[in-house]
Amino acid sequence: GEDVEQSLFLSVREGDSSVINCTYTDSSSTYLYWYKQEPGAGLQLLTYIFSNMDMKQDQRLTVLLNKKDKHLSLRIADTQTGDSAIYFCADASGGSYIPTFGRGTSLIVHP
């Protein structure tokens, strides 16, 4: 079945860039998402990328997609303490609009 994998933790210093990585197995993925979850809250859509794109930039966020390797990354420039959260990668294929979520990566930003 479909699978989305992420590392569980990432620790960075304030002001540095953060790169969160994700791999997926569904070759028919139509688009992929990044969601953010702050402590004790629901998920919030950060950005998404269509599978026919290589890169998408939105202010401090850069999404890179390597479709050949089925690898997705989210780069956060100038990471701030307010970026500390869990980041979920998810993919959706044309056959099902319901995304498959990874386990989430906890981003810890320290001074």
Q: Would you tell me which residues interact with other proteins (CB under 8 A)? A: 8, 31, 40-45, 48, 50, 88, 92, 97-99, 101-104
Which of 14, 46 has the CB closer to other proteins?
Answer: 46
We find the least distance from the C-beta atom of residue 105 to other proteins, in angstroms, to be 10
Find the shortest distance in angstroms from Cβ 101 to other proteins.
4
Strands (E), 1-111: 4-6, 9-13, 18-24, 29-37, 43-50, 55-58, 61-66, 71-76, 85-93, 96-101, 105-110
H-type alpha helices, 35-108: none
CB of 64 to other proteins, least distance (A): 18
